[in-house]
Amino acid sequence: MPESGARKVILPARYIQGQGVLGQLGAHVKQHGSKPFVVSGRTGWTRVKARVQASLLQAGVPLAGHDDSVTECTHAKINEVAARVEDAEADIIIGCGGGKAVDTAKAVSEKLHLPVITVPTQCATNADQMADAVVFSEDHRFIEDIYLSQAPVLVLVDTEVVARAPPVFIVQGMGDALACGFEKPAYAETMRARKSQEQATNAALEVNLKCFQTLMAHGVQAKKDVEAGKITDAVESVVEAIKLQSGFGFGGGGCAAAHAVHNGLTIVPGIARKHGEIVAFGTMVQMVLERRPMGEVERVMRWCRELGLPIRLSELGKLDMSYLPKAAEKACDPNDSMSAMPFTVTPDMVLGAMREVDSLAQRLG
């Protein structure tokens, strides 16, 4: 009998990144279908509509329809969009926009057994290549992760588009990607110890390490370059770290405490930060839970502070602190990713770690 399960990673069939690559969309769509349907948010669709339609028309695969009404990835929205896709008799879906639109598109593709191409319009998350969709309530409270049978057939990242989005998006994306350098190793250790049916690949661990190194080396410069309207090697490297490297690591599973803390904090009244910003705070909570050396925690904390990512509870919004124990309890839901930590984590431990991060940030000045 084998000592443990199979090593697994789920990746997109193709990843293309560069300035102007959106013009290639039609040719790639044509390889998988002839009646594309775009799922997007209104802002993202407005930014790329003309280029998407031109590329599709040039390839002879005009839009069968589109829905630009996504404001949140909910079960109701997934069902609503799926009905529209069926009515249009579309045979391929294009998810265009931020994480909510892309996750909705992926969930619809899974429901209808259709291929999906993702076209991000900003860099706030690594959702574009992930084989999952994160479902929330209408008021953005975490509901569940839907794990998909396959990743997109193409992730098309036009840096001329994503680097021209407001700079806060690439900062949020770096906060989200930061977690992979800590969550994937924790997940891998746990799966090995449990002799789980699904094991992390060494490749995913190495790519996650490279992602973390890229963020530390180029993240601050990439933010400055985007603010200056420049698309530099630093920007391209950080976009790849967010859109490809961090997603590669999570492709076989791999969330742990950082995302579980995020999920818990979404129930706190007054939370005002976005996904990647809350995940960055959750990453520091995980580091404290793991009792990492204080110098290592401070290094990440200083990096977050320089980028403008939250390092204190007060920077997450005008939180109702009385809800923090409930947030800690939700973070430890046995069905969530806290269970992937290599040791038992209790709500009291999470609450203490959140307060310790806050205290350390205050001392850091």
Give dist(CA 350, CA 192) in Å, integer. Answer: 24
- The structure's pTM equals 0.92
pLDDT at 252: 52
The predicted-structure confidence for 223-265, as pLDDT tens digits, reads as follows: 999 999 999 999 999 999 999 998 875 655 688 999 999 999 9
pLDDT reading at 39 higher than 90 = yes
pLDDT at 360: 96
Q: Of residues 28, 32, 218, 259, which has the active-site annotation?
A: 259
Query: In the annotation, is 140 catalytic?
Result: no
Give me the mean pLDDT over the 318-346 stretch.
96
Q: Of residues 32, 66, 218, 275, which has the active-site annotation?
A: 275
Query: In the annotation, is 218 catalytic?
Result: no
Conformation bin of residue 65: beta by default, left when phi > 0, alpha when psi is -120 to 50 = left
Give dist(CA 269, CA 232) in Å, integer. Answer: 39
Q: Of residues 66, 225, 262, 358, which has the active-site annotation?
A: 262
| Mean pLDDT estimate for the chain | 94
Buried b (16+ CB within 10 A) or exposed e, 129-154: bbbbbbbbeeeeebeebbebebbbbb
Identity at 3, one-letter amino acid code: E
Give me the mean pLDDT over the 92-118 stretch.
97
Query: In the annotation, is 262 catalytic?
Result: yes
Out of 176-180, 211-215, 245-249, 327-331, least confident range: 245-249
Q: Of residues 91, 176, 336, 358, which has the active-site annotation?
A: 176
Query: In the annotation, is 75 catalytic?
Result: no
What's the Cα-to-Cα distance from 111 to each of 152, 199, 235, 322, rounded to whole Å? 14, 26, 35, 39
